[in-house]
């Protein structure tokens, strides 16, 4: 648990790996070493080293009770049936059995017994505490893990000091409890636990980083968060996490861009704060500085897609899209930035104009990248977002670029596409699509889905919308007029100018 001991553990693991790699390697590992190797490999989720440690112990320490318990730990994580067989053959959670075995037996019983509940698990844990054990690190870890998986974390918090008296490593107990709470997104509950942890181990930077993350996510008092940030920066003046949170606080308090520039120089490659820095410059009437900052980034790296996307806040739609196309014309350039990378940048464009420009980028990628390079959700995301922005031509062009979408979409998406074709003036195609949807709907989509009455209502609502579109087109043709779609089934408004 202490970072100061990680170096020694890393060295031990490295020596063991060298032993495994080199058949002539003469190094020998003592009993305590092999126990440490197994436990540390578990912390790193290195199953290969854990298995080899078990095999080494079976050869050189066949009578080791510690490694027998590690074998059970391995079974419980990888082979539940083997763990059940082991517990059956070795006395389960009987009071005379080793503590690790008793803890794993409690957890296995809770998971596998439908009649078991947290009260039974608490009673079993109370029996363990009644014996006043002195748990080592591995036993402490499994005590918390058992409480976690048996829904007993409330009980553990309430009895924390009692449990701490039975552990040889209070910091280990606090850390494992904090991580269990964070795993359940219980940030507010984790904060006081981590505060106790940093009091125990005030010089371990990662614990302070853990505290900051919990404070941010639990919306803790600004003063507490500021103290944590100051402590982290005193320990590590270039700490990215603390600098980023300091930047975000200044930004959201409408801080001066000059204050932000000092931070961004320390972490210039962070895409999020780069975008926010540009926004801050623009908001404070310093558009020329924003353009200069973007140009500086593009001169350093013409394929800086974050800077290219940020240009939408400064230059505008068409010039920026042209710059992107020019920068990424070659296959070699395309390989440097994935569609998912583009999307992470695009989704931050939260003004109407910038968002529409983002759809233009998505459409260009859909047209230019090969289909196996584009995530499955790409087309549907583009279609839904562009439709909601009343950019119906984008929807039409997306379908032309990915015609297979109509074979894999659901009926709601299909209806949305038909509406877009109709509103984009593609009346013949829209009418044909309506007829296909009406005639072949039974083959294409289920009338029921997951026994949901909501889906059934949607299904028949979509059929009604398709019928209304056909009727509007036919009536307009008969009257020799342009169809007017007065009904906006998906909250569609009058198309905006391109």
- Tell me how far the alpha carbon of residue 179 is from its chain's centroid: 16
Is the model's pLDDT at 4 over the cut of 50?
Answer: no
Q: Report the predicted TM-score, pTM, of the whole model to 2 decimal places.
A: 0.69
Partners of 135 in beta bridges: 167
Q: State residue 235's pLDDT score.
A: 96
Is the model's pLDDT at 107 over the cut of 60?
Answer: yes
Reported as a single tens digit per residue, the pLDDT across 199-245 is 999 999 999 999 999 999 999 888 999 999 999 999 999 999 999 99
Residue 398's nearest CA partner among 413, 384, 383, 411 is: 383
Q: State residue 190's pLDDT score.
A: 97
Q: State residue 200's pLDDT score.
A: 95
Range from 184-198, 259-273, 348-362, 433-447 carrying the lowest mean pLDDT:
348-362
Is the model's pLDDT at 446 over the cut of 80?
Answer: no
Partners of 365 in beta bridges: none
User: Average pLDDT of the chain?
Assistant: 85
Helix, strand, coil percent content, the chain, rounded in steps of 5: 70, 0, 25
Q: State residue 325's pLDDT score.
A: 79
Residue located via tokens 């919306």: 219
Domain boundaries, the chain: 243-375
Question: What is the average pLDDT across 435-460?
Answer: 70
Reported as a single tens digit per residue, the pLDDT across 140-161 is 999 999 999 999 999 999 999 9
Question: What is the average pLDDT across 101-110?
Answer: 88
d(CA 384, CA 374): 17
Residue % of the chain over a pLDDT of 90: 39
Q: How confident is the model at residue 313 (pLDDT cuts 50, 70, 90)?
A: low
Q: How confident is the model at residue 103 (pLDDT cuts 50, 70, 90)?
A: very high
Is the model's pLDDT at 497 over the cut of 50?
Answer: no
Q: State residue 498's pLDDT score.
A: 41
Q: 33 CB contacts (<8 Å, ≥6 apart)?
A: 12
More confident residue, 377 or 348: 377
d(CA 214, CA 182): 8
Q: How confident is the model at residue 135 (pLDDT cuts 50, 70, 90)?
A: very high
* Three-state DSSP state, 319: helix
Do the beta carbons of residue 380 and residue 412 sit within 8 Å? no
Reported as a single tens digit per residue, the pLDDT across 429-444 is 999 998 988 887 766 6
Question: What is the average pLDDT across 132-146?
Answer: 93
Residue located via tokens 């806040």: 313
Is the model's pLDDT at 351 over the cut of 70?
Answer: no
d(CA 246, CA 289): 22
d(CA 432, CA 411): 15
Residue % of the chain over a pLDDT of 70: 89
Q: State residue 347's pLDDT score.
A: 73
Range from 267-281, 339-353, 401-415 carrying the lowest mean pLDDT:
339-353
Listed in sequence order, the DSSP H helices in 236-370 are 240-252, 257-264, 271-283, 287-300, 305-310, 317-327, 331-336, 339-346, 352-368
Q: State residue 442's pLDDT score.
A: 66
Q: 39 CB contacts (<8 Å, ≥6 apart)?
A: 70, 137, 138
More confident residue, 54 or 352: 54
Q: State residue 358's pLDDT score.
A: 78
């Amino acid at each position: 648990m202490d970072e100061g001991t990680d170096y020694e553990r890393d060295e031990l693991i490295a020596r063991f790996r060298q032993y495994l790699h080199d058949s002539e390697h003469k190094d020998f590992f003592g009993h305590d070493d092999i126990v440490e190797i197994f436990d540390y490999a578990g912390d790193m989720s290195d199953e290969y080293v854990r298995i080899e440690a078990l095999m080494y112990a079976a050869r050189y320490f066949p009578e080791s009770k510690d490694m027998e318990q590690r074998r059970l730990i391995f079974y419980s994580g990888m082979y539940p049936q083997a763990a059940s067989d082991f517990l059956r053959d070795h006395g389960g959670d009987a009071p005379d059995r080793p503590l690790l075995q008793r803890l794993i037996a409690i957890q296995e019983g809770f998971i596998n017994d439908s009649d078991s509940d947290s009260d039974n698990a608490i009673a079993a844990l109370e029996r363990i505490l009644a014996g006043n054990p002195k748990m080592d690190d591995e036993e402490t870890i499994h005590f918390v893990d058992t409480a976690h998986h048996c829904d007993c974390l409330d009980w553990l918090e309430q009895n924390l000091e009692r449990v701490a008296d039975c552990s040889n490593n209070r910091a280990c107990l606090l850390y494992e409890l904090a991580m269990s709470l964070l795993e359940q997104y219980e940030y507010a509950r984790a904060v006081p636990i981590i505060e106790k942890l940093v009091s125990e181990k005030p010089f371990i930077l990662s614990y302070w980083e853990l505290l900051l993350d919990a404070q941010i996510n639990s919306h803790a008092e600004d003063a507490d968060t500021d103290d944590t940030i100051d402590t982290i920066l005193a320990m590590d003046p270039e700490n990215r996490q603390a600098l980023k949170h300091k930047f975000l606080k200044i930004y959201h308090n409408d801080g001066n861009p000059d204050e932000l520039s000092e931070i961004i120089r320390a972490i210039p490659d962070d895409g999020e704060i780069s975008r926010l820095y540009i926004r801050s410059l623009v908001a404070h009437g310093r558009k020329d500085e924003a353009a200069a900052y973007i140009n500086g980034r593009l001169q350093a790296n013409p394929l800086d897609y974050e800077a290219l996307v940020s240009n939408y806040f400064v230059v505008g739609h068409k010039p920026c899209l042209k710059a992107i196309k020019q920068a990424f014309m070659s296959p070699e350039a395309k390989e440097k930035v994935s569609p998912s990378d583009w999307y992470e940048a695009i989704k931050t464009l939260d003004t109407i104009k910038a968002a529409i420009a983002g759809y233009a980028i998505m459409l260009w990628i859909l047209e230019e990248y090969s289909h196996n390079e584009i995530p499955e959700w790409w087309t549907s995301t583009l279609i839904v977002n562009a439709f909601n922005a009343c950019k119906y031509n984008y929807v039409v062009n997306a379908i032309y670029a990915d015609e297979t979408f109509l074979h894999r979409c659901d009926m709601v998406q299909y209806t949305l596409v038909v509406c877009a074709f109709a509103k984009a003036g593609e009346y013949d195609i829209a009418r044909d699509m309506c007829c296909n949807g009406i005639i072949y709907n039974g083959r294409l989509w289920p009338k029921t889905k997951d026994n949901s009455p909501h889906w059934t209502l949607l299904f028949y609502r979509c059929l009604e919308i398709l019928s209304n579109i056909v009727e509007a087109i036919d009536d307009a043709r008969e009257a020799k007029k342009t169809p007017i779609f007065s009904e906006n089934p998906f909250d569609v408004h009058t198309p905006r100018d391109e």
